[in-house]
Amino acid sequence: MGMFEEFIGDLVALAPGLRNAAQLAATTIALAYPLGLLLGVLLDNRVRLVRIATLVVVELGRGMPLLVILYLVYRGLPEVGVRLDAMPSAIIAFTWSIGAYSADMFRSSIHAIPPGQREAAIASGLNARDTLRFILLPQAARIAIPPLMNLAIITFQLTSLAYAITLPEIMHAAYLRGSVTFRYLDTFVVAAVLYAVVAIPAALLVRRLERRLSRHLA
């Protein structure tokens, strides 16, 4: 078999893995960012208990390695009678971790808005909720977009960790393929290419967008 056929064979073997990886990444983003926005706002809540509880959730989500969180959900929850498949486990673990990261981004974006904006909103008679909704969040969104897009790329790359809980993503497929052909190197190179062709152009795009969004600030 020629090298080209081998390459195509590897690609075909890894394709379902790419689909699962994309599905995990997309679901995570869809759940984690709204959660992160909520957590980010709650981090500044007036009630001390809410603030502390939120901080614990965020710091655990950010401070524990994602691999450990994956094990915690997949191998830990059965202890309390919750037995989940690999995909739901991965979605829970990823949402916690990525949500916690994005919470910090949302919060620091809100904090990056000049204090005069909030003061002016209050002086205009807006209440706290409307100030957040009409004045702070629209401006924070603009600041938060590039880091959130970067986090989305990182999320896609991190789906490789779900290999550890037997989710049939790219690495899982590559390992299986390797155990049949014994060409582990070739197959993992193909896996690397799959990640790179998504992550590198996406990262370049985000950087261009970042420059565009900050043009008026220069």
With beta carbons less than 8 A apart as the criterion, state whether 209 and 145 touch.
yes
CA–CA gap between residue 173 and residue 190 (Å, rounded): 11
- Would you give the binding string for another protein spanning residues 55-74, x where CB under 8 A is met? ----xx--xxxxxxx-xx--
By beta-carbon proximity to another protein, the closer residue of 96 and 131 is 96
User: Taking the CB of residue 156, how many other CB atoms lie within 10 A of it?
Assistant: 19
By beta-carbon proximity to another protein, the closer residue of 128 and 205 is 205
Looking up tokens 């195509």, which residue turns up? Answer: 8
Q: What does 106-169 look like in DSSP terms, one character per residue?
A: HHHHHHTS-HHHHHHHHHTT--HHHIIIIIIHHHHHHHHHHHHHHHHHHHHHHGGGGGGGT--S
Give the type of residue at 105.
M
Identify the residue among 1, 47, 49, 80 touching another protein (CB under 8 A): 80
Looking up tokens 């809410």, which residue turns up? Answer: 50
By beta-carbon proximity to another protein, the closer residue of 16 and 141 is 16
- 88: contact with another protein by CB under 8 A: no
By beta-carbon proximity to another protein, the closer residue of 72 and 122 is 72
CA–CA gap between residue 204 and residue 163 (Å, rounded): 27
The alpha carbon of residue 45 and the mean position of all alpha carbons in its chain are separated, in whole angstroms, by 24
CB of 190 to another protein, least distance (A): 10
Give the type of residue at 62.
R
CB of 124 to another protein, least distance (A): 27
Nearest to 167 by CA among 25, 65, 29: 25
Looking up tokens 């969180």, which residue turns up? Answer: 69
- 138: contact with another protein by CB under 8 A: no
**Contacts with another protein in 158-197 (CB under 8 A)?**
158, 160-161, 163-164, 171, 174-175, 178, 182-186, 188-189, 191-192, 195-196
CB of 134 to another protein, least distance (A): 27
By beta-carbon proximity to another protein, the closer residue of 66 and 137 is 66
- Count, residues near another protein per rule CB under 8 A: 41
By beta-carbon proximity to another protein, the closer residue of 121 and 170 is 170
The site for another protein (CB under 8 A) is made up of: 59-60, 63-69, 71-72, 75-80, 157-158, 160-161, 163-164, 171, 174-175, 178, 182-186, 188-189, 191-192, 195-196, 199-200, 203
